[in-house]
Structure formats: C-alpha cells, structure tokens
Amino acid sequence: MRENKLYANVKKCVFCAPEIPVLGCYVSKTDVRADTEKISSICSWPTPRNQTELRQWLDLANYLHKYKFSQN
C-alpha cells in the first residue's frame, strides 16, 4: 500500500467483524446485502401518483435488485 501512497487510518479500521457497512450495504465474508432500512422503505413506499414518484420508486428498486434479501 505504501508503494502506491495509500495509508490506513487505524481508528477507522474494523477488524474481525462478521460484516461491515460499506456504501449503503453490508458486506460479509459470504455475501453482500442491502441495508434493511432501504428494504423496508421500498416495501412501505406509498403508491406512486405521478411519473416522478414512479421513477423514484423504480430507481430504488433497480438499485436494490442486485443485493441478497434476508428475511430477518
């Protein structure tokens, strides 16, 4: 890392954690899953009333479709 001038801040490092939050999702040794708050927000989203609201819902659904959903 030092050859490429990259340095780790020990205060920000997480060691031996089963999963860590990264960019709005949780990364573990075996998989990447979406944040449960985002999943619950799309499940409780009100019915879109216009094109803008529909586009917002579709954008979030498209973002979340690539993650594994757990039934916790």
pLDDT at residue number 38: 81
Q: pLDDT digits over 37-61, tens only? A: 888 888 888 999 999 999 999 998 8
pLDDT at residue number 51: 97
Q: What percent of the chain has pLDDT over 90?
A: 26
Please give the distance of CA 63 from its chain centroid, rounded to a whole number.
9
Q: Which domain holds residue 38?
A: 2-64
Q: What is the pTM of this model?
A: 0.57
CA-based nearest residue to 16, from 26, 33, 29, 25? 29
The total number of structural domains that make up the chain: 1
Q: Is residue 58 part of a domain?
A: yes
Give the count of alpha carbons within 13 A of 20, CB side only.
Answer: 9
Lowest mean pLDDT among 17-21, 24-28, 54-58: 24-28
Q: Is residue 13 part of a domain?
A: yes
